[in-house]
Amino acid sequence: MTAFHGELHTLLREVSQKVILPHYQSLTSDQVEEKSPDDLVTVADRLSEEMLAEGLARIIPGLPIVGEEAAYADPSVFDRLSRDCWIVDPIDGTNNFAHGRPPFGVLIAMASNGEAHTGWIYDPLTDRLCTAHRGKGAYINGERHMTQASDAAMPVAAISTQFMDLEKRQAVKDHIAPHYTMVDIPRCAAEQYPRLALGANDVSIFERTLPWDHAAGALWLNEAGGKVARMDGSPYRVDEHGRTGLIGAATPQLFDELATRLDRMPPSPA
């Protein structure tokens, strides 16, 4: 990994113990806000991002930080994605966290020229840390990990339709779902990406592809031997935050099968 991997793990644990877990299942109504319909933010998100930003600035002084809450408050923060930067999701799975249930996690990535090259996926409840550095493999708690597909008779699919229009949702239901064993999504990329590598899920479709949700996870799953890419097979880039549609799969073959089915799916009406 990197020379500062230990420092990063220490920071994640510190933020978890001082900010995230003390607020878990103890939030009051005035500590939860709705940024948009069904998209929540809590006092813990903001405090976690502040503490992470302070810690990351100590690890590499001067490196720009793209945090979810900072970008929501000031869209110009997105401009940093074209340079070397940190990308931070202080609490991924906020809706779960706000309702006092798992899963939720912390996502951190480092990117250069629009591509993530290092990533961390941290689960505060279990202390599970998934790490990856481009070209050097994927790890879980320091142990090298390779993806494994499920042993289900039909591949297991967790498909996020939340941000799809109604026509696309119906098309997915009619033309994609019959080929898979459909399961509920965790509403947490910090959990979904590990599920794709641990044999729990085989494929996922993500409609919204914001950098803090996918930079670390896409890199990690690719390094584990799975495949994450756009619907047309092109690589995921963190500086294409306005673009939608992403497939994650436990194996390249599973990716290709789903991508082909999506390509043949009737287009939504204009």
- Cβ contact 140:128 at 8 Å: yes
68 is in an annotated binding site: yes
- Cβ contact 44:91 at 8 Å: yes
* 43-59 vs 5-15: helix crossing angle, rounded to 10: 160
257 is in an annotated binding site: no
89 is in an annotated binding site: yes
Q: How far apart are CA 226 and CA 202, in angstroms?
A: 10
39 is in an annotated binding site: no
91 is in an annotated binding site: yes
Burial class (CB in 10 A: 0-12, 13-18, 19+), 192: buried
With CA atoms as reference, report the closest residue to 64 among 45, 44, 42, 79: 79
Within 10 angstroms of residue 59's Cβ, the number of other Cβ atoms is 15
Binding residues: 68, 89, 91-92, 213
Task: State the binding site for Mg(2+).
Answer: 68, 89, 91-92, 213
